[in-house]
Amino acid sequence: MFDRLTQYQWLPLPWAVKEKLASIFNINRTGFTHVADGRLVEDGYSNEDLAVVTKARIEAYLTEQGIEVKGNDINASYEILVTSILDEIKKKEEEDAPTQTIEEAENSVLKDSLNAMQNTIAKVKDQISSGEVVIKNKKNAKTKQESK
């Protein structure tokens, strides 16, 4: 039984989890990404790279985070670790999520556009009533100075 992380456990993880784990455990990436038939075969992290993630280090990290470690093997500790990281990522995404729905944002943009058009119409009406703009026909509008 292994007491360290392997590529078999690592490879299927979402990239955000891998980045977090690499940061926590200072995992160096020494290889290259290999994709075959549209499937990720290697992501550049070798078993040697991942050897720094041991059961003892996982449990020490979880203990620092205030998470109780119940399992006696690395798989149980690893599962708790990945779950806690996924929860952290989900919480951050929820905090960073926009507070408006798409419909609310669209309505806000439409309302702003309508207000801008109403302001423009009001300005043109003021210019017409003050004589700044003289309308000769519907196609041509000239300023008072141009019409002289």
Domain limits, the chain: 7-96, 102-147
Residue 2 corresponds to which tokens in the numbers above?
């292994």
What pTM was estimated for this model as a whole?
Answer: 0.61
DSSP string across 38-76: TEEEEES--HHHHTT-BHHHHHHHHHHTT-----SSHHH
Query: Which pLDDT tens digits describe the chain residue by residue (148 residues)?
Result: 568 888 888 989 999 999 999 999 999 999 888 888 988 888 899 999 999 999 999 999 999 999 888 767 888 888 999 999 999 999 988 888 777 677 777 777 778 777 778 877 877 787 778 877 666 665 555 555 555 5
Contact by Cβ (8 Å): 63, 69: yes
